[in-house]
Amino acid sequence: MTETLVRPLVESDEARWRELFTAYGVFYETDFSDEVLERVWALLVAAGSGIDGLVAERDGAVVGIAHYRSHPDTFSGGRDWFLDDLFVDPTARGTGAGRALIEHIAELSAGTGGSLRWITAADNHTAQALYDKVATRTSWVMYETRR
């Protein structure tokens, strides 16, 4: 059985990252401009930018990406972790790549005094089937302002 390898995103992942992140945008009906892709990529590969990236590999091919960040937590005095983006190539769904990415970030967050959180669209039932297995669904309601 093929194992999923999770590792930090590196410069040589840029082309595949762009494919997967663009597909993620399409899934959420967002058309990322080249300028946005360049800015996000620059953040992901810059040390100390506040956001980090991971890839999931199967048989040497990158099949998934995750972007996450950590920040001080006012409820615990520790560190909170937030999974910003998670996307697995549709051909690799059900292989454990998404779970492996989440579990890797959960391991990074272990012992830091906070929790790992993320959001998803209310109608993203496929993702929620996994999320319900690896985390506790909350009752929080999210708000945002448009800029």
Residue pLDDT, tens place only, 100-144:
999 999 999 999 988 999 999 999 999 999 999 999 999 999 999
pLDDT digits (tens, 9 = 90+) for 8-28: 999 999 999 999 999 999 999
pTM of the model: 0.94
Joined together, the tokens standing for residue 35 give 């300028």
3-state secondary structure of 80: strand
- Give the whole-angstrom CA distance, residue 113 versus residue 98: 24
Q: Return the CATH architecture of domain 4-134.
A: 3-Layer(aba) Sandwich (3.40)
- Domain regions of the chain by residue span: 4-134
Kindly state the average pLDDT of the residues 63-91. 96
**Tens of pLDDT, residues 119-130:** 999 999 999 999
How much is the CA Rg of the chain, to the nearest whole Å?
A: 15
